[in-house]
Structure 1
Amino acid sequence: MSKAVFLTGTGTDIGKTYISGLIVKKLAEAGKNPAYYKAAMSGNERREDGSLIPGDALFVQKTSGISQSLDEMCPYVYENAWSPHLASRVEGNPVDLKVVRKGFLETADKYDYITMEGSGGILCPLCFDERRIQLEDVIREFELSSILVADAGLGTINSVVLTAEYMKAHSLPIKGIIFNHYHPGNIMEDDNIFMCEHMTGLPVIAKVQDDATEIETDADVLAALYDEVKIK
């Protein structure tokens, strides 16, 4: 049975894709047959033929070395670097949860560990016109637990605690926190991490430095964070 976990962040450009790539790479190196999936990607460039390149998926594919095709990784790809609800309003092709579900279950049929990345922060709207779909609706659709990705720097205490409290209040389970842009020995960052752990009660899964090519957490420890995919 395939297992999955959801990666959300305290905001956009926090490093979710970077962390996803490192996690998938670690699982692949351990022979755990991993995959990557994302409901909607914004801010993508076009190929010469006019088709859009799913940039986040391409990054994870190259970083991890997995053979999963880009077409399997994301059903909705937009050019404008906006929230998916706005990008689709301008470009067309709004997110439909049935399509997201179909792609996710097809991925679950082929791979053992699915790392599903969110768009932006937890409150990101995926569709607001034809349908009303929030990022948390995707998490609930597959009954996933989340890993929270945060910056180790200034301001993270507020963003981590607010995100964690919102998710707890809305019954969205969190397995722990990964801190990105960490500088060993930085007194402020170390205190930020301590305070976040203390104020949320969530464990720190990893502290990732800039330009890291590996996530130091053991592959079996990471794999234990994934829950069995529930087929409704």
Structure 2
Amino acid sequence: MEKKLNAIDSEVNRKSLNEKRAKSLFVTGTGTDVGKTYITGLILKKLDMANCKAAYYKLAMSGNLRDKKGNLIPGDAKKVKELSGIKQDLADMCSYVYENAYSPHLASRIEGNPVDIRIADKEYENLLRKYDFVTLEGSGGITCPIRFDQEKIFLDDYVKYKNIPCVIVADAGLGTINYVELTCHYMETRGIKVKGIIFNNCVKGDVMHEDNLKMCEYLTGIKVIAKVSRGDKEINIDEELLKSLYE
């Protein structure tokens, strides 16, 4: 992975240092199906409503359906676009799209077309030059394998290399204390900056959900910056606080 990242670095360094670049934020989750895509859509909607030029990006997307012509539809990107209302072209939102609902390393082993991190990085860098805020959504949890053949690339390798700050999406319910603590601890050991936790599927007044919030903040030292209930159309977070998460 180090040689591959060095190759990327040499290309990036050839670009003008005065070139306009967006601020970025990475959205990861404590696991699969905790609502990363939904929360990411709400974040982008908030930025769009604040008249910010905002974009979405995902390295690789699995578990997608085909249209009538047999083309794969990047489902998560489509959901984010529809929920947020951003005008970004769907084709610019994800570099690698797979049909099988497996992690990208396994889906590409079955379907072909493994992630070329240099191509993906170029597409991400293009977004940084065109927008003011770019929100990256992870695949699964933070350690998701993106490629595992002659090249071994994990999601956290790329996030750490690009030095992108993160927020963690977690389900508010049972088990989240353990999931949040382990995820935060791992990211800390990797030197990845966590700027906040977002609880999804919150039920107002639920004693366990409220206690989970307090325990997660106590164990990690990281604030729960937003609580989202099922079906919410907006995320309850201050606009300036949201912008400050991006670097």
TM-score (norm 1): 0.96
CA distance, structure 2, for counterparts of residue 87 and residue 93 of structure 1: 9
CA distance, structure 1, for counterparts of residue 155 and residue 59 of structure 2: 9
Task: Say whether the 8 Å CA contact 2:160–2:191 is kept in structure 1.
Answer: no
In structure 2, runs of 5+ residues without a counterpart are 1-20
The one of 150, 168, 175 aligned to 1:155: 175
The one of 204, 220, 226 aligned to 2:240: 220
Aligned length: 227
CA distance, structure 2, for counterparts of residue 149 and residue 138 of structure 1: 19
Deviation string 1:61-86 (CA, Å, 9 cap, x unpaired) is: 00111110011000000001111100
Moved over 4 A (4+): none
Deviation at 1:96, TM superposition (A): 1.4
**Identical-pair percentage:** 54
The one of 14, 17, 20 aligned to 2:37: 17
CA distance, structure 2, for counterparts of residue 145 and residue 221 of structure 1: 14
Deviation string 1:178-228 (CA, Å, 9 cap, x unpaired) is: 00000010000100010000000001110000000000102221011000x
CA distance, structure 2, for counterparts of residue 213 and residue 84 of structure 1: 30
- RMSD of equivalent CA atoms: 0.7
Which structure has the larger Rg over C-alpha atoms?
Answer: 2
Equivalent position SS for 1:177: strand
Structure 1 residues 195-210: aligned runs within 5 Å: 195-210=215-230
Q: Aligned residue for 1:37? A: 57
In structure 1, runs of 5+ residues without a counterpart are 228-232
* Residue type of the alignment partner of 1:65: G
Deviation at 1:143, TM superposition (A): 1.1
Deviation at 1:130, TM superposition (A): 3.5
Equivalent position SS for 2:211: helix
Q: Aligned residue for 2:8? A: none
Equivalent position SS for 1:39: strand
* Residue type of the alignment partner of 2:195: K
The one of 153, 169, 191 aligned to 1:133: 153
Deviation at 1:123, TM superposition (A): 1.2
CA distance, structure 2, for counterparts of residue 51 and residue 148 of structure 1: 32
